[in-house]
Structure 1
Amino acid sequence: MIRFEHVTKKYEDGTTAVDNLSFEVADGELVTLVGPSGCGKTTTMKMVNRLIEPTAGRIFLGGDDISAVDPVELRRRIGYVIQQVGLFPHRTVLDNTATVPHLLGVKRATARARAAELLDLVGLDPAVYGGRYPEQLSGGQRQRVGVARALAADPPVLLMDEPFGAVDPVVRERLQNEFLTLQKSLRKTVLFVTHDLEEAVRLGDRIAVYGQGSIEQFDAPAVVLGAPATPYVADFVGSDRGLKRLSVTPVEPGDLEQPPVVHTDDPLPSGLTHWAVVLDPGGRPHGWISAEQASLARGTVGEHAHRMDARLPVGASLKQAFATMLQYDAGWIAVTDEADNGRFLGVLTPARLHEALRRSTAADAQDIPRDEVELETVSGR
């Protein structure tokens, strides 16, 4: 969808903002551009909608050389979201969102109906917020309106320049979650500029790590964290990149242990060594029971099972798994298949979590599937 071919941007004072840049962004892909201030990432983005013109090289959008496209027409094909949003203070939220369709000649009623749909899509009830003005909204709400306005003309491409950088960390995480959910359904082609590596890792299908005016590494987040291409990238992602990698490494069925299992309507078992997971009639986690409790009590398993709160779905990140363990002070968490009505798959322990992280890192380094990795172990006496 977006292709850079040997693009350079030099200014009259001799500064080279971008130097011989070549990369592609696939249709429906979200690519994050990350790097320190002044590295050229925002310049790269602004050249896509011709707010900045390149000195050399060519940029293609959907197969068209953008230098041959009228800038106004080009920008109508691109949604643009910036940190400070840029809403019109004298227009309501609904009219702000309907701005671009209205400029494109869409009838006012149709444009407003589309705006109402999009406000609802980004979590703002149009009946509640549509008639308000930007000053009546929180920072997070204004950012949602900015995203809705960028989507109003249904552009194939979104350019997002530090869109969540001006809100507090809690709101920022919520906006990131909402945007990821939105992107899963809309599959827009997105260039997303950020200086925050964790945000880049969390959102991007691929990450472009910028040095000074050039890309040092362009790869999947897990690869950037697990196998930095250059000393610069290794220094940029930091010595704690293993911890950051937890957020992009999913829990897979092969990571799980298979403990003893009993069911709620079973009589209390007499042969337990330590504990067992208790399942309901549908095969979903109900709780757990200890060997001591099973040996001392009478009745059915379901009558004596402990509640089990430490659980998460397969495919969740290792970071979520670790956080769940800490939240419930749990030595293991139950993992379920939400696509199969929450069926129990196994348990993840701290040791297996660590092993999953090691396998993921080794798999990327060797370019093989995780289940084919053979880990070295150190045995002692």
Structure 2
Amino acid sequence: MLRFEQVSKRYADGTVAVDDLNLDVAEGELVTLVGPSGCGKTTTMRMVNRLEEPTAGRVLFDGRDVAEYDPVRLRRRIGYVIQQVGLFPHRTVLDNTATVPHLLGWRRPKARQRAAELLDLVGLDPAVYGDRYPDQLSGGQRQRVGVARALAADPPVLLMDEPFGAVDPVVRERLQNEFLRLQAEMRKTVLFVTHDIEEAVRLGDRIAVYGQGRVEQFDSPAAVLGAPANDYVASFVGSDRGLKRLSVTPVEKGDLEQPPVVHLADPMERAVARMRADGARWAVVLDENERLHGWVPAHEARGGEDAGRVARHARRMEAWLPLGASLKKAFSMMLQYDAGWIAVLDEEDRFLGVLTPGSLHEALRRSIDADAQDVPRAEVAFDTAEAPRVAAD
């Protein structure tokens, strides 16, 4: 969808903002541009909608050089979200959101209907917020309106320049979550500029790490964190990149342990026998539909005719997460519930296994080793805690 071919930007004073950039962004891909202030990432983005013109090379939009487009028409085909939002203070939220459809000649009812749909999509009820003015909104709400306005004409490409940088960390995380939800639904081609490596890792399908005017590494978040291309990238992503990697490493079936499993209707005598056979102090309890109910400890009942059914002794379990959730989410949940294990469920809430602190650590190490050896994660196994190896065929 977007391609940069040997693109450079040099200013009259000799400053080189971008130097011989080659970069491809696929349709529906979210690419984060990350680096320190003044490294050229914003200049790169602004050359897409011709707010900056390249000194050399060319920028292609859907196979066509952007220099061939009328700048005004081009910008109406590309959504643009900036940190300062840039809402018109004298227009209502609904009219702000409908700005680009109006400029494209849409009839007023159609433009306002589209604006209302987009406000609802970003979590702002148009019946509540549509008639308000920007100064009546919080910073996070204004950012949501900015995103809605950028999406109003359904542009194929979205440019976002530090859009969440002006809000506090709690609101920023909520906005990131909301945007990830929107992107999963709409699959826009997105260039997202940020100076925050954690934001880049969390949002990007791929990350372009900028040095001074150059991309030092362009790869998946897991690869950037697990195998930095050089000392500069390693320094930029930080010595705690292993912890950052938790947020981009999903829980997979191969990470799970299989404890004893019993059902609510089972006799406790049978459940105790199963736990003893496995040398386990507890068992996972499922209902008749194979969905998680909780767990049962072995020490509460010794079995026998008076022990009753498992349902009598089972405890509810709140610490669970879906397959594919991040290891960071799993780790956070373990801390939140002071849990020694987390249940993992499939899309239909059926029990798949448990993740323990040990298996979480092993999953992280396996992911890092898989990137280093360029093999699928499932092919990496461990003889001991110190000796990673590739599993034999």
Do they fold alike, i.e. is TM over 0.5?
yes
Moved beyond 6 Å, runs of 4+ = none
1:27-74 deviation digits (Å, cap 9, x = unpaired): 000000000000000000011100011111100000110111110111
2:354 corresponds to: 347
Written as runs of structure 1 = structure 2, the 5 A alignment for 1:1-381 is: 1-268=1-268, 269-271=271-273, 272-273=275-276, 274-295=281-302, 298-337=307-346, 339=347, 341-377=348-384
Corresponding letter in the other structure for 2:113:
A
Distance in 2 (CA, whole Å) between partners of 1:365 and 1:35 is 23
SS at match of 1:283: coil
RMSD: 1.2
C-alpha spacing 1:199/1:264, structure 2 compared with 1 (3 Å): same
CA distance in 2, matches of 1:267, 1:378: 38
User: Sequence identity of aligned pairs in percent?
Assistant: 76
Q: Which residue type is aligned with residue 28 of structure 1?
A: G
TM-score, length of structure 2 as denominator length:
0.95
CA offset digits 1:166-202 (Å, max 9, x no partner): 0111110000000000001100000000000000000
Q: Give the whole-Å Cα distance in 2 for the aligned partners of 1:294 and 1:229.
A: 56
Deviations 1:223-267 (A, max 9, x none): 000000011001111110000000000000110000001100111
Q: CA deviation at 1:270?
A: 3.1
Ranges in structure 1 where 5+ consecutive residues have no aligned partner: none
User: Letter of the aligned partner of 1:124 in structure 2?
Assistant: L
Which of 74-83 and 296-305 deviates more? 296-305
Q: 3-state SS of the aligned residue for 1:374? A: strand
* Structure 2 unaligned regions, length at least 5: 388-393
Q: Secondary structure at the match of 1:315?
A: coil
For residue 378 of structure 1, report the CA deviation from its aligned partner.
5.0
CA distance 1:379–1:182, change in 2 (3 Å):
closer
Aligned length: 378
Post-superposition shift, 1:374?
A: 2.9
Q: Deviations over 1:323-346 (max 9, x none)?
A: 000000001111000x2x200000
The one-letter code matched in structure 2 to 1:375 is: F
Q: Secondary structure at the match of 2:224?
A: helix
Q: Which amino acid aligns with 1:310?
A: A
User: What amino acid maps onto 2:261 in structure 1?
Assistant: V
Residue-by-residue CA offset, 1:265-284 (whole Å, 9 max, x unaligned): 11103322311000011111
The 3 A distance-change label for structure 1 pair 202 and 379 is: closer
User: How far apart, in 2, do the equivalents of 1:109 and 1:366 lie?
Assistant: 57
Distance in 2, matches of 1:137 and 1:7, equals: 40
Give, in whole Å, the separation in 2 of the partners of 1:86 and 1:330: 46
Partners of 1:6 and 1:163 in 2: how far apart? 27
Give the deviation of 1:377 after TM superposition: 2.0
Q: TM-score, normalised by structure 1?
A: 0.98
Q: CA deviation at 1:375?
A: 2.8
SS at 1:302 equivalent: helix
Deviation at 1:376, TM superposition (A): 4.8
Which SS does the other structure have where 2:100 is aligned?
helix
Aligned partner letter, 1:331: G
Report the secondary structure of 1:153's partner residue. Answer: coil
Query: Alpha-carbon deviation of 1:379?
Result: 7.6
